[in-house]
Amino acid sequence: MKKAILLLISCFLVIEAYAQDSTSYRSSIKVMYGSAAPTGEFGENRFENDYPPFAAFGSMLSLSYSYSIKPKLQVGGTVALRRNGFEETEFANPNDRIVGTIESEAWQSVFTMADVQYKWYARDGFFYVKGGAGLSFNRSLSYKVQTLFGPINRPTDNSTALAYGINTGMQFDIKRVGLGFDGGWLATSPTFSITDAHGKTTKYKQPMATINLSFYLAYSL
């Protein structure tokens, strides 16, 4: 009986020591890189819809800072760059002789977000869920398509909008260094202007949501 009690006490002290080591750092910085897959209206590529985005599978790079206000609760901020190219093969069949060269610039968004994160600690790291809201600075897709009947042009446009997202993931700690995996959803809906062949300009709202899967490197301060 005494051995069992001593074993339980020893286990408790080990777990407590790991928890204190994990929570002793007040803040951390994190660099993250991964994929950005268009979803919802941002993933549509049918000409039947008005102004289909033809957004391709893209990438996102982000830098985050977080500060502990309680052992399991952190606040902070994130700056991120997301790019989604032009789905050229969906826009025009590569074997179509009517269409010649295609030049394009990707959809691009820069996000500045305020974050709140909640952690569940484990022996060698933690799991977390994070929510954020802020602003996005967006640049629309642009392209120039050469055809047998003349060029098709879409100039770029810029717009600022509210942005929001939610993430969850896990981190493994080696002293101050952390390696992690993150999955999340990030959305914004800027308003762009587009001008048709007759010179008529129309404003429209373009939802831009992606599902993101990333690996990251973190450092505790």
The b/e string for 112-128 (b: 16+ C-beta within 10 A; e otherwise) is ebebebebebbeebbeb
Between CA 96 and CA 29 the distance in angstroms is 49
Tokens of 144: 């120039």
Q: Is residue 41 helix, strand or coil?
A: helix
**What confidence score (pLDDT) does residue 13 get?**
40
- On whether the CB atoms of residues 75 and 27 are closer than 8 A, the answer is no
| Chain Cα centroid distance, residue 153 | 29
Q: Structural domains in the chain?
A: 26-220 (2.40.160.20)
Q: Is the pLDDT of residue 159 over 70?
A: yes
Chain position carrying tokens 């967006």: 138
**Which of 111 and 7 is assigned the larger pLDDT?**
111
Between CA 194 and CA 48 the distance in angstroms is 17
Positive or negative: CA dihedral 28, 38, 206, 129: negative
For the residues 174-183, what does the mean pLDDT come to? 96
Cβ-based neighbour number of residue 82 at 10 Å:
23
**Which of 109 and 194 is assigned the larger pLDDT?**
109
Between CA 113 and CA 213 the distance in angstroms is 18
Which pTM was predicted?
0.83
**What confidence score (pLDDT) does residue 25 get?**
63
Q: Is the pLDDT of residue 22 over 60?
A: no
